[in-house]
Structure 1
Amino acid sequence: MNTLAAWLRRLLVLLVALCLSALVLTAGFVLGRMSPTTWIGPIASPAYELVRAEPPAGLLLAGRDDCAIPTEREYALTLAAIDVLSFSAQEGGSLAIGAHKFLANSRYRDVGQPVCDSLESFQRAVQLINGSDHLRRGRPVEYTLNLIARLPGPHSELVAIVAASAFNDTPQESEYFARRDLRPLARATLASLGLVATPFAGRAFAEISAHDSMGTGAAQVAVAGQHPRALDSVERLMADLLATLPKDDVIAWDTRNRLYELAYALAYGGAAAASHAAPIKELMTRRVESNATIFGMIDLQPKRMCRVLADILSVNETELGHDYCADPDVPYEK
């Protein structure tokens, strides 16, 4: 009798184990068929980081006396890159992309000395690009925008490509950094092209804000495109933002960037911007955060605004009343 009872107990344990195994397998099958969002909710994608609306350098180093005249070899390299443009982008393939990237930025020697840009060379480059498929293949990224900004008189197709990126409804991803949105750079590039931004000035004016670099990039396009109310709007935004900041406090990094981007917008107003420059003058009496990379943020004087204000007022930087503008020992903020 005891043997029978023991046997029945073992049978019962076995049946319970089989039932539990079946339940586990069934649950695993059901969960496996479900998407993760079914049982843990939607998975949020990481947000895109906006780049700064910082105008590209363009041919800033053409015809200047504070850069080095190209050596024969440096000049030959530029000509070699331009010669590649004689072939179509399709024919040139990766060699064409290399030429685009080489021409997209000013050259610097090992000692950090900038080499003067050759306006004549880029006039030839724009002729070759305007009559070809160069810069028209794929989505514009950093080097595309930088190169278009360096072309004296880019084709209307290239302007349209920049504008389509600048006012796209979806983020335009960087070539180098995942989840980094280039639309503010595209807006700054469009503004740097001058009056060709006029057809986009109305939409840009509607999007002006100091909230982020999309709004300040829009301000640059609106002013460059000569929207009749853009200068007033940008001056007011900049003054209102400054008014919220205690005068003795260092201006934080993000806020500083928005103020600088609005100042760049005013600079596109030419002579008309002189009567709207009061906020830039106020900014130049403050101290701002600068990114010292591994050392974190440090506070500096806003030296980058010296050239901006001098250009607006059509004076030399030494006439602005700020010693730091002409002091070589005062570093530029980053």
Structure 2
Amino acid sequence: MTPPVTPTSLPDVANDAVALARPLDWVGMDNIALPIRIPGPGGSVVQVAARVDVAVDLRDADARGIHMSRLYLRLQEAFASEAITPGGLRKVLAAFVESQKGLSGAARVVLRYDHLLRRDALASSHSGWKNYPVVVEAELVDGHLKVALALEVEYSSTCPASAALSRQVNAQRFAEDFAVARPLSTEVVRDWLASERGMAATPHAQRSRAQVRVELRPSFDEVPVASLVDALEDALGTPVQTAVKREDEQAFAELNAANLMFCEDAARRIAAVLKADPRVERFAATVSHYESLHPHDAVARVSG
């Protein structure tokens, strides 16, 4: 058998003449599987699975395409040594531009991953992990870096209108049950409230979601996922829980009663937090209350 002939050179049609010549805004690859390193508990570093979009611009109108394989290989090496910080992202993006040998002057990367945070129960000694979908977007254009962070927070929302209507029904039943009872002792009222008669109606609540995107100021060298989640959950007051015993469920019910909110209220709370954060240049947020009263969602959007 005749051995295969190894070519001395391989054809490269990327250097062929280009039809309809013009520059292109972005050229690259989407949805690449890649491990990245993110901050973990106590200053540790945790490796997580990510999906990555990477691209560079094509400024040379006469070039048919970019060096795609060089871009891919640089990406595979990029986050082995660089953390997900603005400074680290700048180095990675600069390396993407350099890999194109003059074809490009800008680069962008989008990282999608799930950020796990351990959350303590409200009243018991238990805890559990909660997942927060995160997107980090970074662009380096002519040496100017822009970094944006998007994340989602789930919480419970109890309707203020439904709560008011329920209180009215409860008050009416109390008046009916004790119309002729005189005098009323504290013990009698307490026992009535603790009975099924003492709850004539309950307000409706639903799982809700806040989707937040912030553009970060260049003076801060961090991508503040955990601290931003903490600030948003504190503002909303009723984040969904992980480990739940009966005492935790009771504490959660109390939090819901203390944090009645329409979607408009939730949007205003989030806006106040983001507007006051010195790390945030601009923000946009969408809150969705997945109503239990009707089959459509209540939604509010805010930006600043």
Normalising by structure 1, we get a TM-score of 0.22
More strand by share: 2
User: Larger Cα Rg: Structure 1 or Structure 2?
Assistant: 1
Higher helix share: 1
Q: Which has the higher contact order (CA 8 A, sep 6+)?
A: 2
